[in-house]
Amino acid sequence: MSIFLLGAGFNADAAKEVGPIYVGRYLMDVSYPLVADVAQLCFELDQVPPDQSIEELFCDALERNDYAPLNKLSDRLMEADYRLATRLSVPEQPNRYQAFFERFAGSNFITFNYDSLPEILLHSSQHWFPHDGYGTPVEVEPSFGATDTGDSHSASLVLHLHGSFCVYSNEFEINRLAGDAISWIEPLGTLRYYFDPYSISHCFPSYARARSSTGHVPIEERIIAPIPDKAQQLTQPFIRKTYAKACSLVRESGTLIAVEYSFNGHDKASYSPILEALSQSRDRRLVVVSPNATELADMIRAAHPSLKVQSIDRGFRAWGDDCFRY
């Protein structure tokens, strides 16, 4: 079974698929941002500096305890999920994203993106559930009246290698023993992960927000800006487990389809483990789907000569018009 690597460009056509969105009489821009959009939105830059990646900009901001850029990104992605992903998941309104996930039902998906577009569409077709769909066990809180939220199993996994806004970890819990006048903060024997979809809870109607007993978990503690050369966050348990699961699935599959992923040289330390795992597989097949796929394929062949790289020089919409053939 093939496994997919979804890049930021995968989401770029979502707004076109949905069409104009108005709030009152005002036309809203709720598109999923590309890298250049994030640079302007979060850092007021016309473009990312040539010697840095967007992840490095976030990492530098977090090291200064400046959470404003990350919160701006969170607000924009949550808005896009709220306005776009919900419409794309409506069965009565066919679109290319529905067709993609139907065409590859039962496949697994790797992403460095922080949005929940894949989970929302897969959950609407009952192919993904939060308790096991992230590749590691996540505790969930059923919504009032919901049934069987823990009995269904995900046919597809969505592995967020840089974390998700909808998952947080907890090392402690607050307990009060019978007869005690005060509560005690106690360490958990095992780190636990909780599903809290926050402002897009309606996208997962069977689930409520799983609240931490120690209080609200801010956005900056749910994800990382992973610069492996300088950030220790890649050793965090959730990220480490997710990478291990992704690499295992890639080795088992032997075929990785990268859809609109840029393979930016500044992010090499993030995606290299995935390509190394692919090079250890039986088929060692990489399919690159992107408007500049030929250029990317040449670059990857030079760095990973053992891989069999196929290029499809199309964006997501054009690829969908060709029935997602590869």
Mean pLDDT of the chain: 87
* CA 39, chain centre distance (Å): 19
Q: What is the pLDDT of residue 213?
A: 58
60-94 tens-digit pLDDT: 888 888 989 988 999 999 999 999 999 999 999 99
* Strand residue runs (E) in 70-132: 108-111
> What's CA 196's distance to the chain center, in Å?
15
Question: 75: phi > 0 → left, psi -120 to 50 → alpha, else beta; which?
Answer: alpha
Nearest-angstrom CA–CA distance, 108 and 115: 16
For 92-135, write each residue's pLDDT tens digit: 999 999 999 999 999 999 999 999 999 999 999 999 999 999 99
pTM of the complete model: 0.90
State yes or no: pLDDT of 187 exceeds 60: no
Residue 232 in this model has a pLDDT that exceeds 60: no
**13-41 pLDDT, tens digit each:** 999 999 999 988 999 999 999 988 999 99
Q: SS3 for 5?
A: strand
Other beta carbons within 10 angstroms of residue 317's beta carbon come to 12
Spatial contact of 235 and 64, defined as CB atoms under 8 Å apart: no
- Secondary-structure percent of the chain, ordered helix, strand, coil, rounded to 5: 40, 20, 45
DSSP state of 33: P
192, pLDDT greater than 50: yes
Q: Which amino acid is at 218?
A: P
H or E, element range at 249: helix 237-253
Q: Specify the pLDDT at position 235.
A: 47
